[in-house]
Amino acid sequence: MIKRLAVLAFFVLAAGSAQAKTLHVVASFTILGDLVRQIGGEHVVVTTLVGPEGDAHVYEPTPNDVRTMAAADLVVINGLHMEGWIERLIKASSTKAPVVVASKGIKTRAMVEDRKTVTDPHGWQDVANGITYGANIADGLVAADPEDGDYFRARTESYLAALADLDRWVRAQIALIPAEKRRVITSHDAFGYFGRAYGVTFLAPQGISTEAEAKPAELGKLIRQVRQTHVKAIFLENMSDPRLVEELARESGAVVGGTLYVDALSAENGPAASYIQMFQHNVPMLVEAMLKN
């Protein structure tokens, strides 16, 4: 009872101050959740539907997600069909919250998969796109809470400057590697934007969704390719089944170089708890392995 009164008193006090607004933001997965926290600061409470180490391609929403979505002030998604389940969840929750599509405005890349042209959804793996994501999220926060607009704009400016520094750092790291050695094998095809931006070729037995099965013929082709080209840089992914890459390494004689953070961040105490830390973890590991190619 005392606790309830204290909560009530808090709300009465909060209502008296125009600056005390807190937006309840729902982000579909952890990378977007981090961007919202970096820009929203103390004026946001963020819930991510797919948690740390989770796979947003194949997620199945829970009844609790429906309630979370219904209570949201703002929803942030990647778009580009990354979250195939999100439209149904938004409908089921009858949320009135505006939806920010973080990838809006990026130059997308298309690829052919099973004879269909599909759009690669992994835009965040190019830091320049991350800056666009941040700007879109900032616009959504300012529109939802204009009174805190100056606060959001100031945080956006410093965070996007940090991302511009990160982008320069990634370029400098990749520049250390001779062009003919810039080849990497990952489990699913999530580094297309990274490859296009920073000049690295990524090969993957699985398509751009972890939902797609690797075909035995494709896997055989990749094993031969690894043997012929002596690619040593072969990686597991934090949110994917490791068996495919382990088999590939075994069959081709390559050694697994570690685990890349791809579609999800680590937990708070892990090595990639933020979007920036994800690159700080992945890039040196990629560089070290590619130098052995």
- Do residues 109 and 192 touch, judged by C-beta distance below 8 A? yes
Window 82 to 121, contacts with Zn ion (CB under 5 A): none
Segment lying near Zn ion (by CB under 5 A), choices 141-149, 186-194, 246-254, 265-273: 186-194
Among 263, 272, 278, 281, binds Zn ion (CB under 5 A): 263
- Do residues 95 and 72 touch, judged by C-beta distance below 8 A? yes
Q: Closest separation between CB of residue 109 and Zn ion, Å?
A: 14
Cα 274 to Cα 264: distance, rounded to the nearest angstrom: 10
> Which one, 165 or 213, has the nearer CB to Zn ion?
213
Paired strand residues for 66: none
> Which one, 151 or 193, has the nearer CB to Zn ion?
193
94 phi and psi angles, rounded to 5 deg: 50, 30
Strands (E) across 120-266 are located at: 183-185, 201-203, 234-237, 256-260
> Which one, 145 or 263, has the nearer CB to Zn ion?
263
Among 25, 190, 204, 287, binds Zn ion (CB under 5 A): 190
Cα 205 to Cα 240: distance, rounded to the nearest angstrom: 12
Rule CB under 5 A: is residue 50 a binding residue for Zn ion? Answer: no
Q: Closest separation between CB of residue 210 and Zn ion, Å?
A: 6
Other CB atoms within 10 A of residue 135 CB: 16
Site for Zn ion (CB under 5 A): how many residues? Answer: 2
Paired strand residues for 47: 26
Q: Tokens standing for 181?
A: 């050695």
Cα 54 to Cα 220: distance, rounded to the nearest angstrom: 28
> Which one, 167 or 263, has the nearer CB to Zn ion?
263
Q: Closest separation between CB of residue 16 and Zn ion, Å?
A: 46
> Which one, 152 or 191, has the nearer CB to Zn ion?
191
Q: Closest separation between CB of residue 9 and Zn ion, Å?
A: 46
> Which one, 50 or 72, has the nearer CB to Zn ion?
50
Paired strand residues for 101: 77
> Which one, 56 or 141, has the nearer CB to Zn ion?
56
Q: Closest separation between CB of residue 57 and Zn ion, Å?
A: 5
> Which one, 120 or 167, has the nearer CB to Zn ion?
120
Q: Tokens standing for 207?
A: 């398509």
Q: Residue with structure tokens 């965040």?
A: 124
Segment lying near Zn ion (by CB under 5 A), choices 66-74, 104-112, 259-267, 282-290: 259-267
Helix, strand, or coil (residue 211)? coil
Q: Tokens standing for 146?
A: 């204009």
Other CB atoms within 10 A of residue 196 CB: 15
Q: Closest separation between CB of residue 225 and Zn ion, Å?
A: 21
Other CB atoms within 10 A of residue 74 CB: 24
Q: Closest separation between CB of residue 50 and Zn ion, Å?
A: 11
Segment lying near Zn ion (by CB under 5 A), choices 71-79, 172-180, 188-196, 252-260: 188-196
Q: Closest separation between CB of residue 122 and Zn ion, Å?
A: 6
Q: Tokens standing for 213?
A: 């099965």
Q: Which residues bind Zn ion (CB under 5 A)?
A: 190, 263
